[in-house]
Amino acid sequence: DIQMTQSPSSLSASVGDRVTITCRASQNINNYLNWYQQKPGKAPKVLIYAASSLQSGVPSRFSGSGSGTDFTLTISSLQPEDFATYYCQQSYSAFRSFGGGTKVEIK
Amino acid sequence: QLQLQESGPGLVTPSETLSLTCTVSGDSIRSGRSYWGWIRQPPGKGLEWIGSIYYSGVTYYNPSLKSRVTISMDTSKNHFSLEVTSVTAADAAVYYCARDPPGTTGTTHDYYNMDVWGKGTTVTVSS
């Protein structure tokens, strides 16, 4: 099975900051990588699919990059509504797996 | 508009079987080459993929749970179900169901992502 490792597990940032979250896969997954945002008490919502494609309706301040085993989610200018937990997930294998999550908190 | 709704007992006795159903409206679970998945989230922890059932009925399970998990589908009722046997306190979580459909075509296979989720149902394990 494919293990997904995210870092950091949490971070503190201010509105307007540029934020970067990384995700590493235990094997080559090409670009079969999705990013989700989850707010407290809510189901996750997909932000990025295929490593760098923006899901319809998602603000352009979110972007994704990477291929192979190393991936990045970037928020170019953090907004108040972006304080949440972010997860990566691989869809290379039918045996799906998620990263451990990165909680973005207000500094 | 596609909607998924989890249902089932909110309280399960230790060593018993947890059974949940995800009812799908607005799409057929036999169409579109989608996977239909179960994901759980223990209190204060991250997301854990439990398993999925492909539109054809083929199932895939998290290796760490495989011996205790069964996912099935009932096309006549347009729903899919989850059973977890021999539950312990570690199985207490919010359980989500999600659609995992194919999108654009990739280099080796289609890109999938979990685009629609249920609201989640909380399961407590206690005697």
Residue B114 contacts A where some CB pair is shorter than 8 Å: yes
For residue A89, give the nearest of A12, A25, A13, A30 by alpha carbon: A25
Convert the pLDDT of each residue in B42-58 to its tens digit: 999 999 999 999 999 99
User: What pLDDT, on the 0 to 100 scale, is given for residue B10?
Assistant: 94
A70-75 vs B48-54, strand pairing mode: unpaired
Q: Which chain A residues contact residue B34 at CB under 8 A?
A: none
| Contact yes or no for A30 and B108 at CB 8 A | yes
Contact B13, B89 (CB under 8 A): no
**Per-residue pLDDT band at B104 (split at 50, 70, 90):** confident
What pLDDT shows up at residue A38?
98
Backbone angles phi, psi at A83, to 5 degrees: -70, 115
Nearest CA in chain B to A96: B49
Predicted local distance difference test score (pLDDT) of residue B32: 81
Which residue from A105, A99, A45, A94 is spatially nearest to A72, judged by alpha carbons?
A99
Measure CB to CB from residue B49 to each of A31, A45, A98 and give the nearest one. A98
State the pLDDT confidence band at B109, using cuts at 50, 70 and 90.
Answer: confident
Q: What is the pLDDT of residue B31?
A: 81
Residues of A in contact with B6 (CB under 8 A): none
Which pLDDT score, from 0 to 100, does residue B105 have?
78
Minimum-distance CB partner of A32 among B61, B96, B111: B111
Q: Which of A27, A29, A47, A91 would best serve as a mutation to test chain B binding (most B beta carbons within 10 A)?
A: A91
pLDDT at B107: 75
* Interface residue B106 vs chain A (CB under 8 A): yes
User: Does any CB of chain A come closer than 8 Å to the CB of residue B118?
Assistant: yes
A2-18 pLDDT, tens digit per residue, is: 999 999 999 999 999 99
Looking at per-residue pLDDT, the higher value among B11 and B109 belongs to: B11
Residue range A73-77: average pLDDT? 98
What's the confidence (pLDDT) of residue A59? 98
The span from the CA of B23 to the CA of A87, in Å, is 25
Return the percentage of chain A with pLDDT > 70, whole number.
Answer: 100
Contact B117, A44 (CB under 8 A): yes
Please name the amino acid found at residue A11. L
DSSP B127: -
Q: Is B73 helix (H, G, I), strand (E, B) or coil?
A: strand
The region of weakest confidence among A35-44, A58-67, B99-108 is B99-108
Give me B10's structure tokens: 């909110």
Cβ-contact B87, B81 below 8 angstroms? no
Confidence of residue B108 (pLDDT cuts 50, 70, 90): confident
Q: For residue A67, name the pLDDT band (cuts at 50, 70, 90).
A: very high
Give residue A19's identity as a one-letter amino acid code. Answer: V
Task: Establish, for the pair of chains A and B, how many residue pairs have beta carbons separated by less than 8 Å.
Answer: 75
Nearest CA in chain A to B97: A43
Q: What is the pLDDT of residue B75?
A: 93
In degrees, to the nearest 5, what angle opens at C-alpha A91 toward C-alphas B7 and A55? 80
Q: What is the pLDDT of residues B11-39, one digit of tens each?
A: 999 999 999 999 999 989 998 899 999 99
* DSSP reduced 3-state for B34: coil
Question: Please, which residues bridge with residue A31 across strands?
Answer: none
Q: Which residues of B touch A55 (CB under 8 A)?
A: 113, 115
